[in-house]
Amino acid sequence: MRLRLLPLVPLVPFAVLALAACDGGGTEPPPPPGGDYNAVLQGPTSAESAALLELTGTGIEDVSSLTSVVYSSPVSGGRRVVLVRGTPGALEFRVRMAPGNEPPAARVVELAGGDDQLRTSLTGYQVAFTRAAAP
């Protein structure tokens, strides 16, 4: 029995194009988009009065909050941020990053509880970043 391959010959150029369109992986992924990121202090308690945070990374353009008073100043490698709430609650803020930059790393330096006393331990506290919804 002999196979007749001649009718398949016109399909060869399409097969070659289809295989050529498959990327072998040699391209770099696009840079992260930058923009606004919501940040919230997470930890064992949820009612805090104030925090001193250290944000490290490049491209930090602005830090703001709707629920806290924010003081922010540039330091080598990032920004130092103070958040103060009038009434104890969740410490939330927003960070604007330059295009192509991921959210910064964050470290809790000091934290005041709902009683305005410094926490003796910062174990379990961290800042979580999520992408802010586009306006």
Read out DSSP for 26-43?
Answer: -SPPPPP--EEEEEEEES
Q: What is the pLDDT of residue 74?
A: 95
Distance CA 108, CA 104 (A): 13
Q: Which amino acid is at 49?
A: S
This prediction has a pTM of 0.75
CA-closest candidate to residue 53, choices 128, 126, 122, 108: 108
> How does pLDDT run across 16-65, given as a tens digit for each residue?
444 444 555 567 775 567 999 999 999 998 899 999 999 999 999 999 99
> How does pLDDT run across 105-129, given as a tens digit for each residue?
999 999 999 999 999 999 999 999 9
Look at residue 7 and tell me whether its pLDDT is greater than 70: no
Q: What is the DSSP letter of 91?
A: -
Q: What is the pLDDT of residue 46?
A: 80
Q: What is the pLDDT of residue 17?
A: 45
